[in-house]
Structure formats: structure tokens, C-alpha cells
Structure 1
């Protein structure tokens, strides 16, 4: 299956001899420092779900006394199921969401307006909603067979307005059915009709430990940190493949595909674009206890077929920054340029051959020496 859906780069990964010996990739892996979803590599898998292999998902469908369903469950499921293939490709065949539909409407005990979505949703209120949905479906579903649950409401339930992710809080009662604690769930809302299958990639990745990359404080623009370059930012972004850093954190990109510069030195690296399988995926220059610069290659292919620009994408990672406050920030190579029609600010951020980025205070320089069909050649220096 992987061979059928994953294009492989035919350009071999190679690198010139560095001025000094390269550092081990582990020297560039940052520790988590927020106690929740962040960009650290030490994900707590007693809380979050391992993003590998087959993940069994029960998809249940709910309606309400004030919003009975008039459509078929299948019509709603069709908005969600393509997300499994999207995640499969984005993970380079490392994770498969095996969604099992239970195609009948089950009636919730309360009106849709009673579940608190319009007022903002606390963890406890969200958990109560999931508990009602699971209880209603339990006569027809053996929840002991599944790793997580997708709760899909009728399109008529306008009060269920958005799509949050649920993660069990250790030490609490949580949601239990058929002898199993259900630790992860996504409850879909009306915004599923606005976003596409990538909503599955965004919300499910929260159960893997990934933070939001858009801004919770929208005063300076919701997508001012990463634009549309990662699905954890703008879901419908023109180039919304996961960053190479995210893929490394999730284990989808291996240590052997990472060039690390934690000590002084220089490396010339041939990067294969993240949209393709194989090759070196990124160069990381560590700059502090929780910070690093990353450069990766992006191409208009696969999930990023609509990308507004291509080239070497540079961004800064800080694993001490909380979700929604900019733990990843893209560096714009063309800050004064107007993005192409239909594109957002930062969509034209990649560096082209001949361009370079310097952070003198951090002692970091990244130079793009050349580009080709499948990637870019960069020289990274830490002084």
C-alpha cells in the first residue's frame, strides 16, 4: 500500500564533508517544557497516543431532541474518511487511521444547545458530551475494540459549532465503556463542512501530542506564525504538510534523515522535499536549551500541490512556548513582497537559490546554494 501512494525521491541523500564532525541528531532534539502539547521530543505516551501502526477509530453518529437528523450518516462520514488517506501519506505510511463507521443515528439525552459549545467548552463539559454520546451508542458498539472515538453530529445541530479534541486527564474518572477507558476522541462540529479532510490530520495529531501553531491571540493575525505551511496552523493552507520537525517528533522521519549542528561547524546538506519519501529531510541548528532553527525543502507536490511558493523553508522552534503562542515561527525570505493572488502572508516565505538567512546573535547562517526538482542544497553554519 505504501508503495502505491508514496512517491520516492530518486536523488540520493548525500552531504559534503563538514568542517567539523556532525553532531548526533539527538543533540538537536529539544525537551518539552510546557507540560502539555509542545514541540519537545519527549512526548509523554502515558497521556498521548503513539502515532504509529494501525489506530482503530470508532465513528459514531449523534442527533438531538432539538436537532433530529434528516441526512444519512454516510453523507457526513464522507467529509471525514478521506482524512485517513491524508494522514497515511503525510506519515510516509507509518500511521493508518482504521475508521469503522457505525452508521445509525443515536439520540443524545439533551438538546444540542445544552452542551456548551456556544459558550466555550471546558474539559469537563466536553467530557460530559462524549460520555453521553458513548452511552447512547454503547448498545450497538463494542468500544473495547477501539483506540479512539470520532463523534459526528447531524448537520442540523448548528449549536455544535466547532471540532475540539479530547484527551483524558490522568487520575480522573474519564469515559469508560465496555471495560475500556476511552482516552482520546475528536468531536466534530459544523466547521467540518468548512474544512476538508485535513481537519482529521489536525485534530487527531493533538492526540499524538502536537500543539496548535496558529495564534490564539488574533490581534496580529491568526496565522502570523506559520501561515499555511503546516496543518496544525491553517488547516486549509496551500502547503499544509506537517513540518519536518513535527514529523521527526512523531517518529515518521528518522534520525538518519536529520542533519544536526549543535556545536560550531558547517554542513552542506542536500535536502529532499518533505512531500516525498526518503532522503535527508531537514538540517537543524540548535541555539539554546529549548530553541533551534530548522531548514527543510518544500515542493508543490502531494498534500502541497497548491503551494504558492517552493524552496528552502526556514523556521525557529521553541519548545518552551505554549500551544497557540507560536512554538514554531516561519522566517519570511520575502517580507516586503505581496503574496500571489489567493495566497496568504508567509505563503511565499521559502528561500530560493542564492538567498540566505542570518541570525547574528544566535551565530546562525543558512545559505541556499541550489535547487532541483526534488529538493534544495543548503549550507548551514553555526559560529
Structure 2
């Protein structure tokens, strides 16, 4: 039931290009640099910046059930960039070349103070005075270009934070770092921003109420094993007991494959762990298409309760979870998913196809 990637970039396929993207398991060594600028000198110490982002490591360890460890080293000093903050062209539509120049300048300026060969990736954090650096893009190297080297090592992956880190908090690091693992954006680049996935995965709404990575993503990243996936690859039926994705162990997802690049997925969600503030609990059902590009809805949540009035702070799609007695059907593919039972330990679903 694993799907092949078809976009040539971040997508929902399991055949992740390990030259372009880094592994999401084991220990990944991160160096955090704090930068200021001639036109935006720092007005405070870097320690509060480090403290603001530090919870991301524990958050991702919890999300991965201990399969991923971010070992973060901070260079506790301001590194002065060689050019004004306004010269780097930070705006939506920032080009790869402009972004790489910004990162290269930061690495070059910090090189006398750090051995970059010791790290897998770099985080670059700007002073709060640098309002011309507003958002936080991920850097993924291009193997066809010379790229950035320091201390004899090529820098392949980085997150360059912007002022939006103060809005999103530490989970912006979880979102952006996951791009270096190959995950796409689940929010929409056009139209209603959270029309596809709502707040059900940090790759969608970073400040969503249930930001734990989807079970499909956990499988793609290697945090969930093949043995924890119940697959229905063709016509037939199968009953599956699902353990909540927020917990370790058990069967995590049930997958009904519907085409070369498409499948429906069912998983159990509970208001605990990274999802402690979830607006609804039960069985989450979603459609995956590994040929759909990032930002165009590669994952689309099916809403069990489209007419329900969400409580304050929640959106209609945040109430999408299916309860016992509810069913999802797709006549076009012959798919039916019935929620048979639910309780403290998880949910039981019956899959049918054809």
C-alpha cells in the first residue's frame, strides 16, 4: 500500500530521495546560529531565542515515539551578516538562489566560530529587529549545483527562521525540519489556507489543535513499521483494531489502495500527547495522492461532521473524526470504512473495497 512519489520533490511517496532529503530517524545534529545585520543590530541576547525554539526537540521526539533525536548545539553569540537585512529579498516567491546566498553569508560569517563538518543541518535565527526577514523557509540543497561548503563538508539542509517564529512558536521548527525529511505542505497555497487538512498535522496548520504527524507521515518517515500498517491493496474486506497515533505500539493505520498514486487511510486519534487540545477524537479518514504537489492538497481530510458547529477556536474540519456507528463511502472507488467500536485503547474499523 506504499505509494510512489510522482512530483520530484516533497510528496507523499515512500520512495524518498535520500540524496535530496535527510533521514528522519536516529540522531540528527543541528547547529543553531543567531544572526544580526548592519541595518538591524540585535538589541538583546540570543538565549531567549534559543529557549523559544528549544521545545521542538522534545516535541519531535514525542511525535516519533523516540525514533528521532534532534541534538541541538547553539552558537551563543550574534553573528553579523555582511549585508543589510533588506538586501536579501525575503518575500513570498523568494528564489532558491537568493535563499542560498543568505544561508551562505550566515555560514561564512559563522565559520571562524564553528566546525560545520560536525553537523547534519543548520538553523539560522535572525534578530527580532530584522523585520525584513519575515518568514521561515527550508533550504534543501540542489545536487546539480556547487552549493555551500564549510570545513570540508557540504551543507545540505537548513531552516532559516523569520519573525513568524514568534507567532508559531517552537512547532515552526517541527514543520520546517520535516521538509528536510521529505514531507510536503498540507496547507493550501491558493484559496482557503487550511481547506484540505485543517489542524490535523503540523505540516498543515502549525498552530492547529491536533498537530501530531499523520500516521501516513509517520510511516513514510520510518517511525511506524510496515508491520504496524494494515493494507487492503485490492477488492475485499478487512477488520482492523487501530491504536491511537499519539501512542507507541499497535497497528497505526489502515490503508485502502485505490490507484497507482492514491489511497484512503484510517487512523485513530486521541486528545493526548502532542494532540492534547484536539477538537475531536475518533477515526480520522483521509485521501492521499502522491502525485499531487505540495500545497495543492496531497492529503485531504474527509469530514464526518460537516454541519457541526465548531466550538470557539476550532474549525469545521477540526471536527472531522468519525465516531462508532459512522461510515465513510466513496462510490467512485468502491471504498467503505465503517467505525465499529471505539474506546480508551483505540478504534475498530471495517474496510471494504469493491
Q: What is the TM-score when the length of structure 2 is the normalising length?
A: 0.99
Aligned positions of 1:86-97 closer than 5 A: 86-97=59-70
Aligned positions of 1:1-383 closer than 5 A: 28-118=1-91, 120-217=93-190, 219=191, 221-383=192-354
For residues 176-217 of structure 1, the C-alpha deviation after alignment (integer angstroms, 9 at most, x for no partner) is 100100000000000000012111110000000000000001
Instruction: Give the distance between the partners of 2:88 and 2:345, measured in 1 at CA.
Output: 48
| Native 8 Å contact 1:272 1:281 kept in 2 | yes
Q: Secondary structure at the match of 2:75?
A: strand
Instruction: Give the distance between the partners of 2:32 and 2:314, measured in 1 at CA.
Output: 34
Instruction: Give the distance between the partners of 1:76 and 1:109, measured in 2 at CA.
Output: 21
**How far apart are residue 150 of structure 1 and its match?**
0.3
Q: Secondary structure at the match of 2:164?
A: helix
Instruction: Give the distance between the partners of 1:378 and 1:118, measured in 2 at CA.
Output: 45
Instruction: Give the distance between the partners of 2:31 and 2:60, measured in 1 at CA.
Output: 17
Aligned residues: 354
Q: Secondary structure at the match of 1:199?
A: helix
**How far apart are residue 120 of structure 1 and its match?**
3.4
Instruction: Give the distance between the partners of 1:267 and 1:236, measured in 2 at CA.
Output: 35
Unaligned residue ranges in structure 2 (runs of 5+): none
Instruction: Give the distance between the partners of 1:131 and 1:361, measured in 2 at CA.
Output: 50
**How far apart are residue 374 of structure 1 and its match?**
2.6
**How far apart are residue 108 of structure 1 and its match?**
0.4
For residues 127-176 of structure 1, the C-alpha deviation after alignment (integer angstroms, 9 at most, x for no partner) is 00000000110000000100000001111111100000000001201111
For residues 271-302 of structure 1, the C-alpha deviation after alignment (integer angstroms, 9 at most, x for no partner) is 00101111100100000000000000000000
| Native 8 Å contact 1:299 1:374 kept in 2 | no
Unaligned residue ranges in structure 1 (runs of 5+): 1-27
Q: What is the TM-score when the length of structure 1 is the normalising length?
A: 0.92
Instruction: Give the distance between the partners of 1:207 and 1:367, measured in 2 at CA.
Output: 36
For residues 66-112 of structure 1, the C-alpha deviation after alignment (integer angstroms, 9 at most, x for no partner) is 11001111111111111011111101101111010010001001111
Q: Secondary structure at the match of 1:138?
A: helix
Structure 1 runs (4+) deviating above 3 angstroms are: none
For residues 227-248 of structure 1, the C-alpha deviation after alignment (integer angstroms, 9 at most, x for no partner) is 0000000001000100000000
| Native 8 Å contact 2:308 2:316 kept in 1 | no
Instruction: Give the distance between the partners of 2:79 and 2:114, measured in 1 at CA.
Output: 11
RMSD of aligned alpha carbons: 0.8
